[in-house]
Structure 1
Amino acid sequence: MAWCTSLLLCATLAAPAGPAPAVADDLDERRAAAQQRAEAAAGQVEQLQASVEGLSSELAQAVLQLQQTQLRLPAARAELAQAQAQADAADRQALMLADRLRSAQDQRSALTETIAASRSQESQARDQIAELARSMYRSGPSDPLLAAVVDAGDLEDFLEQSRAVTTSTSSTARMLTELTELQAASRNAQARLEAVTATLADLKAEADARAAEAARARDVAAERQAEIERLIAEQTAREQTLTGLRAQAEAEAQVAEQQRAAVEGELAAIIAEQQAAAAAAAAAAAAAAAAQGAPAPAPPAPPAAAASPGSGARFVNPTSINPIYVTSRYGMRLHPILGYTRLHAGIDLRTYCNTPLYAPADATVRWSAWRDGFGNQVMLDYGQVAGASLMTSSNHLTRSVVSAGQQVRAGQLIGYSGNTGLSGACHLHLEVYRNGTTTDPAPYLGL
């Protein structure tokens, strides 16, 4: 059995108020794209609702549940693939961060060892200088270098004073140079150690973030996998349910055809009565004219408001939505259970529950009554138009405000939109009857 499916996408996008001029264009484009996605989703929801028009609530619910499951499955599979890709990417980043962490830790260990060795060498150099100072002191403080040693308050002071001494011995100068170089190397190594330590902290924080991201992605993937398994089970069960309802669907389709045939039969009878009355009136007028010796009167001109279709609208907008928005056109439509095409004998126009509906043109109300699958129906008669009878029916109304025999003008309120009868959602199902048979309403609406 072939099932009717379509893709349902719902998307919303919230943007902050008061964008800066530099990003205003980008935000406008994002809002426009979001609006387009929302409108597309709304249109597809309406198509889904239109597909169950003409089914009982039990059949419609079964079809909608199956279609919603089928619509959700591709999205769930895409979300599963995305979550798995995100987890894999986070894992790859975590591996790279782990390598960088190990490298930074190795650098920290090497720098720590370098600093320890430098400090040991500094200590040895200071001991050698101190021993030299003591030796020179014992021999008498005649050397300027010795005086610098004696007068210095600390090692740094000593180094500063010793640089100014130009008469130091070569061995003392060499030791001082080595000590200066050791201190510079030690300071450099310490600065690098601090930088590596900060880098380690940053890498650890980033690694933790990537690990958390991977964990969240794996949780989402597990949820989507469980949802997919549930959806597949639901789809199987709902397909079996629809298979069991096939006989009911066939019976309902037969009843719907009988109801439509009954309506067309009533219209045919009305048209026959109109034609008979017109013929009798014409005959009586001709007889009276003949008796008086006057020419027979010309037949009345057809009403302009309900002229035959052509360029431009012949009917005013029958809904409160402006401009008119078509959700499903006149033509053949696939039956969602029985799998064959059937005529969608009218045009579906977007309305909302309990919104006003209007007369498309000047007309006489033929009936305003409950008509089973049509729900609350208002049948309007426009008389003979371009040599043919023209009527419309507005269907699925919550309620009407007109009654049989009433004259209405174009744009006059006739009732309120609803979801009565066999309907999937609140909307206006408008049918046009030409000589008692449905025809496409679009040309009359200028669509």
Structure 2
Amino acid sequence: MTHSRPTHVTGPSRGRSRLIAGALSAVLVLLTAAAGPALADSFDDQKASARARAAAADARADAVAASIEGLSAELGQAVLDLQVTQARLPLAQAELVTAQLELERTQREATLIAARLVDAQAQEVAITETIAVDDARGEEIRTAVGQMARRAYKGETAATSLSVVMESTSTADFVDQYGMISTALRTQTQALDELEQMEATNRNSQARLTAVKDRVTELKAEADQKVVEADAAKAAAVAREAEIQQLIADQTAKQAAIASLKSQAEAEAAQIDAEANAIEAELADIIARQRAAEAAAAAAAAAAGKPARAPAGPTGNIPGAIFGNPTSISPMHVTSSYGMRLHPILGYVRLHAGIDLRTYCGTPLYAPRDGTVQWAMSRFGFGNQVMIDYGFINGNSVMSSSNHMTSFAVRSGQHVDQGQLIGYSGNTGTSAACHLHFEVYVNGSTQDPAGMLGL
């Protein structure tokens, strides 16, 4: 508990406990969500990183629980709601940046793919046109060659070297006819060579056209996928922007709601302080009566002429670790230390007058030292409390209280031995979750229990 003189609302409330614990878990998830996956190269490094993240998450959860401890259910929930919003806001802002970067990336890639698609489609058109032109030219050549073949078949151009010699009327006529024949043969050969080359070129063009068509199909698919990705990134960015605006509005509303509860918080803080002061006054009275009894005993012994011990009085510091582990968790785990703590609503620091030790709901709690139970009762803010008196140590009165207990296993006036069961841990009083709030009173005032617990 935040016994800042902390403490509030009386009695256990399972419904409130579940509500606050659930919200606390949500805060933990949100906060740990920011810690990304382990990037360590080795499995050992990954395990170490995971343990470190788990420890950090536990510490954040403890800090959140400590911040709302000492507040009533209504105030604690208001603060917790605000913390959930404040924890989510920076994450949502980071997610917005990520979504915007993703949108820019997909848009850039979509632009590049679109340019490649246009280029590939232009190549497809150009190759298709080249093939069409070559096909037309090839058809012309095949037609011409076919005509020459038909004329030769009909004997229209069946001239031979002998016929040229026999039919020539003169040397000049021979030369002319032979030249014509040679020219016709060369033309035919050239046409066939051109046709063969053109067909080879066309086969290559067809192969290129097939590849380009396949590439066009791929690019169209990629372009469609980029549209989907860009739409998703845009939707994510829009959603994050809307969430951020809502979170800001919620934060403003929750801050206003908390401000409206300030007078309630002040009244509860005053009641907590009054209860803490009442406890110290009761302990001071007990100590005064104990010292008076010792003094009376010493006086009576002196009057009877018997040696008597001097009345107890502070003579020195408490010597080191005088207490055993009061919890069933070994080793002890401190979730919140003794010291000044900022009040989450009133905005000023208050004393957290004990040390919070990790326990779980319904786990055993033990007497940390031999002593006598002063009381086992419910106190405002502290919940179910067991106060144990250990008498005088180095002349100092030493007592301790275990708070927020679910139930008792001891009664007032009962002697207890170190390690004896005194009850079970819980969440009664103004507690955010099941734990042990352990306080030590030296001469009626609280002191940091850490050293006395060996921590």
Normalised to the residue count of structure 1, the TM-score between the two structures is 0.81
Amino acid of the structure 1 residue aligned with 2:222? E
Amino acid of the structure 1 residue aligned with 2:66? A
| 1:413 maps to 2:421 | yes
User: Matches of residues 71-86 of structure 1 in structure 2 within 5 Å?
Assistant: 71-86=87-102
Aligned to 2:239: 223
Whether the 8 Å CA contact 2:404–2:425 is kept in 1: the answer is yes
Amino acid of the structure 1 residue aligned with 2:451? P
CA-to-aligned-CA distance 1:392-415 (integer Å, 9 cap, x gap):
111111112121222223233222
Give the Cα–Cα distance (whole angstroms) in 2 for the partners of residues 140 and 29 of structure 1: 94
The alpha carbon displacement at 1:98 in A equals 0.9
The alpha carbon displacement at 1:92 in A equals 1.6
Give the Cα–Cα distance (whole angstroms) in 1 for the partners of residues 47 and 223 of structure 2: 35
Aligned to 1:160: none
Give the Cα–Cα distance (whole angstroms) in 2 for the partners of residues 112 and 192 of structure 1: 10
Aligned to 1:308: 318
The alpha carbon displacement at 1:142 in A equals 10
The alpha carbon displacement at 1:56 in A equals 1.4
Q: Secondary structure at the match of 2:31?
A: coil
Q: Secondary structure at the match of 1:9?
A: helix
Whether the 8 Å CA contact 1:316–1:410 is kept in 2: the answer is yes
Compared with structure 1, are the counterparts of its residues 127 and 339 closer, same or farther at alpha carbon in structure 2 (3 Å cutoff)? same
Amino acid of the structure 2 residue aligned with 1:75? L
User: Matches of residues 251-290 of structure 1 in structure 2 within 5 Å?
Assistant: 251-285=267-301, 290=305
The alpha carbon displacement at 1:377 in A equals 0.6
Aligned to 2:57: 41
More divergent stretch after superposition (46-55 vs 277-286) = 277-286
Compared with structure 1, are the counterparts of its residues 29 and 206 closer, same or farther at alpha carbon in structure 2 (3 Å cutoff)? farther
Aligned to 1:107: 123
Amino acid of the structure 1 residue aligned with 2:418? A
User: Matches of residues 175-214 of structure 1 in structure 2 within 5 Å?
Assistant: 175-214=191-230
Whether the 8 Å CA contact 1:327–1:350 is kept in 2: the answer is yes
Q: Secondary structure at the match of 2:254?
A: helix
Give the Cα–Cα distance (whole angstroms) in 2 for the partners of residues 385 and 190 of structure 1: 103
The alpha carbon displacement at 1:26 in A equals 4.9
The alpha carbon displacement at 1:172 in A equals 4.2
Aligned to 2:355: 347
The alpha carbon displacement at 1:206 in A equals 1.6
Q: Which runs of 5 or more structure 2 residues have no equivalent in the other structure?
A: 1-26, 160-183
Amino acid of the structure 2 residue aligned with 1:329? S
The alpha carbon displacement at 1:270 in A equals 1.7
Aligned to 2:444: 436
Compared with structure 1, are the counterparts of its residues 300 and 86 closer, same or farther at alpha carbon in structure 2 (3 Å cutoff)? same
The alpha carbon displacement at 1:286 in A equals 5.0
Q: Secondary structure at the match of 1:317?
A: coil
Give the Cα–Cα distance (whole angstroms) in 1 for the partners of residues 233 and 94 of structure 2: 13
Give the Cα–Cα distance (whole angstroms) in 1 for the partners of residues 157 and 405 of structure 2: 120
Give the Cα–Cα distance (whole angstroms) in 2 for the partners of residues 121 and 433 of structure 1: 110
More divergent stretch after superposition (26-35 vs 58-67) = 26-35
Amino acid of the structure 1 residue aligned with 2:269? A
Give the Cα–Cα distance (whole angstroms) in 2 for the partners of residues 179 and 173 of structure 1: 10
Aligned to 1:10: 32
Compared with structure 1, are the counterparts of its residues 375 and 201 closer, same or farther at alpha carbon in structure 2 (3 Å cutoff)? same
Give the Cα–Cα distance (whole angstroms) in 2 for the partners of residues 263 and 349 of structure 1: 21
Q: Secondary structure at the match of 2:255?
A: helix
More divergent stretch after superposition (335-344 vs 134-143) = 134-143
- Match for 2:258 among 238, 242, 266? 242
Q: Secondary structure at the match of 2:399?
A: strand
Give the Cα–Cα distance (whole angstroms) in 2 for the partners of residues 67 and 379 of structure 1: 34
Aligned to 2:398: 390
Compared with structure 1, are the counterparts of its residues 224 and 138 closer, same or farther at alpha carbon in structure 2 (3 Å cutoff)? same
Relative contact order, higher structure (CA 8 A, sep 6+): 2
Compared with structure 1, are the counterparts of its residues 139 and 12 closer, same or farther at alpha carbon in structure 2 (3 Å cutoff)? same
Q: Secondary structure at the match of 2:441?
A: strand
Q: Which runs of 5 or more structure 1 residues have no equivalent in the other structure?
A: 1-5, 16-22, 144-167, 302-306
Coordinate RMSD, CA, aligned: 3.0
- Match for 1:369 among 374, 377, 380? 377
Amino acid of the structure 2 residue aligned with 1:408? V
Whether the 8 Å CA contact 1:309–1:443 is kept in 2: the answer is no
CA-to-aligned-CA distance 1:26-80 (integer Å, 9 cap, x gap):
5654454344334323322221221122221121122222222222222222222
Compared with structure 1, are the counterparts of its residues 333 and 404 closer, same or farther at alpha carbon in structure 2 (3 Å cutoff)? same
Whether the 8 Å CA contact 2:295–2:311 is kept in 1: the answer is no
Deviating beyond 6 angstroms after TM superposition, the runs of 4 or more aligned structure 1 residues are: 12-15, 140-143, 297-301
Give the Cα–Cα distance (whole angstroms) in 1 for the partners of residues 397 and 419 of structure 2: 21
Give the Cα–Cα distance (whole angstroms) in 2 for the partners of residues 369 and 178 of structure 1: 113
The alpha carbon displacement at 1:12 in A equals 9.2
The alpha carbon displacement at 1:323 in A equals 2.6
> Across the two proteins, how many residue pairs are aligned to each other?
399
The alpha carbon displacement at 1:279 in A equals 3.0
Aligned to 2:17: none
User: Matches of residues 159-170 of structure 1 in structure 2 within 5 Å?
Assistant: 170=186
CA-to-aligned-CA distance 1:196-250 (integer Å, 9 cap, x gap):
1121122122221211111112222222222222222222222222222211111
More divergent stretch after superposition (42-51 vs 332-341) = 42-51
| 1:59 maps to 2:63 | no
The alpha carbon displacement at 1:83 in A equals 1.5
Give the Cα–Cα distance (whole angstroms) in 2 for the partners of residues 134 and 270 of structure 1: 137
Aligned to 1:323: 331
Q: Secondary structure at the match of 2:381?
A: helix
Using the aligned pairs only, state the percent identity.
54
Compared with structure 1, are the counterparts of its residues 317 and 177 closer, same or farther at alpha carbon in structure 2 (3 Å cutoff)? farther
The alpha carbon displacement at 1:370 in A equals 0.3
The alpha carbon displacement at 1:139 in A equals 4.1
Q: Secondary structure at the match of 1:422?
A: coil
Compared with structure 1, are the counterparts of its residues 174 and 37 closer, same or farther at alpha carbon in structure 2 (3 Å cutoff)? same
Amino acid of the structure 2 residue aligned with 1:230? Q
More divergent stretch after superposition (408-417 vs 326-335) = 408-417
Q: Secondary structure at the match of 2:373?
A: strand
